[in-house]
Structure 1
């Protein structure tokens, strides 16, 4: 784009007889290698060359980016149809464009307060309840001391207080209440044994706060295996996430773009089954799925940005509303079917989408927690 402004590079004295990249023989008149496309020049790099090449690539990508974004948002289904019909150089690659949009979305979403995990208001209320309870207990003890029968017989007020309040307070759970020996564990099935161990490990850590798995297994008289150590570390992590869920929410959110990237091919399979009579192969359905999902991320980027700047909630709601209509129009324009068929398949696809999304989320949470 900007090569014509670089007069030095245009001189024949900088033209080589062989491509420095693929070693194809060249003529002096060849400005670019016809095999790999590299510029035919032997001139040493300078800051000016780097500057020109950088902005040339930026503007070229920006042109495709703007066109892709404009068609994607304002002409539902057109970009997918153009892409499968061979008009690909004018648009950004659908898979790379998806990853770019999803990463930007989750970065912006991280700035919002939708995923806040710690509710300090609840913690303060719990503290106030404890203070009030202590105050009520003190009043109750002082009232018991004034009862004539207790004063005359010198009955200990503390013992009466314990009897009066017994059953009101929840008994603190301890790992010893559910403890099983190693021999007892060996008689259980693997899923049952694993569940018991996780519960015991979790309660043990809450009581003792010992993060060293080897010491804990020795104290519990369990086998010091890699599996038992891993289970105990997961119990420690669970306690950490339980007290501050935002840690895991941030970790899981960062992985979502790639989770959805591998989830969409499965969803495209169901689209192919629903439109099996239409003249589209699986890859063409997959491209449509990626374009639609990218549009959702772009709308969320706009919605989250509006909510963040205006401190409101209507931007996210509006993005969801617009996307429902956009998805219907995309299906109608891309698959070229009537309104009744499109609406029916629209409902079926949404049911499949949310069902698969729920299953994928559960699996992703389990896997993410396991590898954290």
Structure 2
């Protein structure tokens, strides 16, 4: 029987077309490649890593690409950027289902569909880098108001009148002028620098800020080291001053630390002095340094909570729960980053409400898709996870504050 087999012809034709395409690509690459003193230890057509005969641009044995990378640096950078941000890149095939189809890429990845998506750990790193870059490099989230604080002249006049009345009342009580002046000075020092009259000279505002910091440091040391202030701490109200403001929104309560050894309390007092002198900048810098580590440590803990919640289900392994945790945290980082940028356009409370609703809906759909739970069961697990994670996050933030203070 003469004639050719159509299937064989198609295979041969496809092979020839593939060889021709490889030859054209190799020819183009040959023109771009430069001479290098570093030559492959294997003959041409063999993998330079494991010596396996190549049948394509990637070794089927060890997975190493056949590219020598002896090309202009901008050519290599173009390949990297195209692979990451190109329309055909994995990132753009991963983000839409990650954000709008909860559980889809997680289920696909655990089922073996992986080449088309960004690896879970790399996806988490990308999301966390974007998030912390926004929070730290651009000084926080949301549309902050940089307008200098101002006070109505009538309020300034009212404060001055109150101080005058205070001086008169102290005089009627028989307090000496020196004592009255000291009490009025301390009362004035209690006014926050940001709330000072806007027309004060810069040197006066600087001096007032230093007075405030000195008062805070003295109050903190008095509560933390009563041995150094025997006269001041002999009264009945000793150690009942409450929390002390040491920075922007950071409050520390020294009470309850008096049982620590004296050297430890002295070290804490010295660290507190450095934090207060910097206006909380050193503490904020340490918290920024340790925050990514804290979030990274939460990943396996969240996976453990998922594993404990599904201990009775067969066929689920800790690796599966860890992938769920990575995808969920990556989603949260991308969501908060996007809403933080949107907070410059929409009211902040709307952005917060969108974040709360979206994140809980995502977690609900995650249980429905990945773990195949019913509606009621998914809602119960959602509430339980929210509550447990809130407690875990509270302890993590407390640990972050302690570590930041101890490394300041």
Give the drift of 1:108. 2.1
Give the drift of 1:255. 3.1
Give the drift of 1:352. 0.8
Q: Contact conserved, 2:143 with 2:343, CA < 8 A, in 1? A: no
Match of 2:27 in 1: 7
Q: Contact conserved, 1:64 with 1:90, CA < 8 A, in 2? A: yes
Q: In the superposition, relative to structure 1, how do residues 106 and 317 fare at CA in structure 2: closer, same or farther (>3 Å)?
A: farther
Match of 1:351 in 2: 387
Q: Secondary structure at the match of 2:117?
A: coil
Counterpart among 29, 37, 43 of residue 64 in structure 2: 37
Give the drift of 1:179. 3.9
Q: In the superposition, relative to structure 1, how do residues 285 and 137 fare at CA in structure 2: closer, same or farther (>3 Å)?
A: closer
Q: Given the two structures, how large is their TM-score scaled by the length of structure 1? A: 0.66
Distance in 2, matches of 1:253 and 1:368, equals 9
Distance in 2, matches of 1:127 and 1:258, equals 46
Q: Contact conserved, 2:58 with 2:66, CA < 8 A, in 1? A: yes
Distance in 2, matches of 1:35 and 1:101, equals 30
Q: Secondary structure at the match of 1:322?
A: helix
Counterpart among 42, 56, 68 of residue 79 in structure 2: 56
Match of 2:115 in 1: 89
Give deviations 1:150-182, integer Å, cap 9, x for gaps: xxxxxxx8748969x999x8898776796427x
Distance in 2, matches of 1:66 and 1:303, equals 19
Q: Secondary structure at the match of 1:87?
A: coil
Q: Contact conserved, 2:98 with 2:104, CA < 8 A, in 1? A: yes
Give the drift of 1:280. 0.6
For structure 1, which segment, 323-332 or 32-41, has the greater mean C-alpha deviation from structure 2 after superposition?
32-41
Alignment of 1:1-372 (within 5 A): 7-10=27-30, 18=42, 22=48, 24-25=50-51, 35=62, 37-39=64-66, 41=68, 45-47=70-72, 50-62=73-85, 63-110=89-136, 111=138, 112=140, 121=149, 131-136=160-165, 159=176, 179-180=226-227, 230-240=267-277, 244-245=279-280, 248-249=283-284, 251-278=286-313, 279-310=315-346, 312-372=348-408
Could you list the runs of 5+ residues in structure 2 that have no partner in the other structure? 1-20, 191-214, 229-238, 245-260
Q: In the superposition, relative to structure 1, how do residues 13 and 120 fare at CA in structure 2: closer, same or farther (>3 Å)?
A: closer
Give the drift of 1:2. 12
Could you list the runs of 5+ residues in structure 1 that have no partner in the other structure? 145-156, 182-195, 203-222
Q: Given the two structures, how large is their TM-score scaled by the length of structure 2? A: 0.61
Distance in 1, matches of 2:389 and 2:51, equals 54
The structure richer in helix per residue is 1
Q: In the superposition, relative to structure 1, how do residues 327 and 179 fare at CA in structure 2: closer, same or farther (>3 Å)?
A: closer
Q: In the superposition, relative to structure 1, how do residues 22 and 340 fare at CA in structure 2: closer, same or farther (>3 Å)?
A: same
Q: Contact conserved, 1:18 with 1:26, CA < 8 A, in 2? A: no
Give deviations 1:106-139, integer Å, cap 9, x for gaps: 3223444669899975999998776444433566
Q: Contact conserved, 2:287 with 2:401, CA < 8 A, in 1? A: yes
Give deviations 1:20-47, integer Å, cap 9, x for gaps: 9955447698755554524255xx9342
Q: Secondary structure at the match of 1:91?
A: coil
Distance in 2, matches of 1:176 and 1:75, equals 56
Match of 2:204 in 1: none
Q: Contact conserved, 1:306 with 1:315, CA < 8 A, in 2? A: yes
Kindly report the root-mean-square deviation, in angstroms, between the aligned alpha carbons of the 2 structures.
Answer: 4.9
Q: Secondary structure at the match of 2:227?
A: coil
Q: Contact conserved, 1:16 with 1:40, CA < 8 A, in 2? A: no
